[in-house]
Amino acid sequence: MSIFIDNDTKLVVQGITGRDGSFHTLQMMEYGTKVVAGVTPGKGGQSFEGPDGETVPIFNAMDEAVAETGADTSVIYVPPAFAAGAILEAADSGVSLVVAITEGVPVLDMVRAHAFARDKGVRVLGPNCPGLISPGQSKVGILPGQIVTEGPIGLVSRSGTLTYEAVFQLTSAGLGQTTCVGIGGDPLIGTNFIDCLEAFEADPETTGVVMLGEIGGTDEQEAAVYVSASMSKPVVGFIAGQTAPPGRRMGHAGAIISGSAGTAEEKMKAFEENGIAVAKRPADLVALIQDALN
């Protein structure tokens, strides 16, 4: 089992002809993701060639792509100026999950896009996220497929490359994953820690969860309370940004300590108080989750 995506996921790629879109579409297809359509306005009627010479039809608009192919999930690789528009179009097209990889989408655009998607009952992952992967089944986004393996651990993270680091260490230690989800580094994201924890709690094959947080906001603190109140499965965590100075944005638009709120210290304390073992460094996560599972 897995959460959000699996073997049956039928994916449409928005921005399939761009540099990143085409590169990662090939990577996703090589991994085994069922990419059924691409959308690039003005390139409808053309097709995208997959790694084994298979052809993926390209459409001008999302509604056409969904009507023709029955796609249920979309992934967005379009530039920031058009990303919110792409999310709105996807949320209106009939897919149930929209994964927005794009970084640098104006926040006020996302206020509208999130509200619209919520009204349509569509889950948005991101923006500014690496996407997600259910090992052996499907990957949507940019997570490198070679570092994951099938197994019982659920992983949820606000980062991209830090996720790879943690997954790589889990895999090296023989701990496979049900699904790895990057929820994104922006201040306004569509799917938060609690959404993922709920899904992992409900997934019969997930036996434990690794949660990677960072400075900024209160998502981790709220998730910690959820873990102690509503989860039966063990959760271990790590918080990045212990050395980050207050008031400075650390790369991610959402990674900023405002006043005295959103520090790594405060989040680690919330984890510990709610029974989430905290790793001092990413390399310690493996031992912690092994302990928690025993």
253 CA to centre of own chain? 16
Beta bridge partners of 10: 34
Contact status: 21 vs another protein (CB under 8 A): no
* Interactions with another protein, residue window 93-112 (CB under 8 A): 101, 103-108, 110-112
Q: Which residue of 43, 82, 168, 205 would you call a contact of another protein, by CB under 8 A?
A: 168
Reading the block at residue 144, the tokens are 């490198």
Q: Using an 8 Å Cβ cutoff, are 189 and 183 in contact?
A: yes
Given 188, 252, 263, 289, which residue is catalytic? 252
Q: CB under 8 Å to 42, separation ≥6 — which residues?
A: 60
Least Cβ distance, residue 60 to another protein (angstroms): 24
Contact status: 212 vs another protein (CB under 8 A): yes
* Residue with smaller CB distance to another protein, 55 or 218: 218
* Residue recorded with tokens 């959308």: 39
Q: In whole angstroms, what is the distance from residue 118 CA to residue 135 CA?
A: 28
Binding part of the chain for another protein, among 51-59, 90-98, 141-149, 173-181 by CB under 8 A, reads 141-149
Least Cβ distance, residue 69 to another protein (angstroms): 25
Report which of 216, 178, 215 is spatially closest to residue 196, judged by C-alpha positions: 178
Over its C-alpha atoms, the chain yields an Rg (Å, rounded) of: 18
Q: Using an 8 Å Cβ cutoff, are 220 and 270 in contact?
A: yes
Q: Which residue of 159, 171, 177, 178 would you call a contact of another protein, by CB under 8 A?
A: 159
Q: Which residue of 52, 229, 281, 294 would you call a contact of another protein, by CB under 8 A?
A: 281
Q: Which residue of 50, 144, 152, 176 would you call a contact of another protein, by CB under 8 A?
A: 144
Least Cβ distance, residue 239 to another protein (angstroms): 9
Binding part of the chain for another protein, among 53-61, 89-97, 193-201, 241-249 by CB under 8 A, reads 241-249
DSSP H helices, 18-106, are: 19-31, 62-69, 80-91
Q: In whole angstroms, what is the distance from residue 137 CA to residue 1 CA?
A: 9
Least Cβ distance, residue 91 to another protein (angstroms): 14
130 CA to centre of own chain? 6
Q: Using an 8 Å Cβ cutoff, are 7 and 179 in contact?
A: no
* Interactions with another protein, residue window 256-275 (CB under 8 A): 259, 264
Respond yes or no: is residue 24 known to be catalytic.
no
**Chain contacts with another protein (rule: CB under 8 A):** 19-20, 24, 27, 80-81, 101, 103-108, 110-112, 114-115, 130, 142-144, 147, 157-165, 168, 185, 187-188, 212, 214-215, 217-219, 238, 240-245, 248-255, 259, 264, 280-283
Give me the active site residues, please: 252
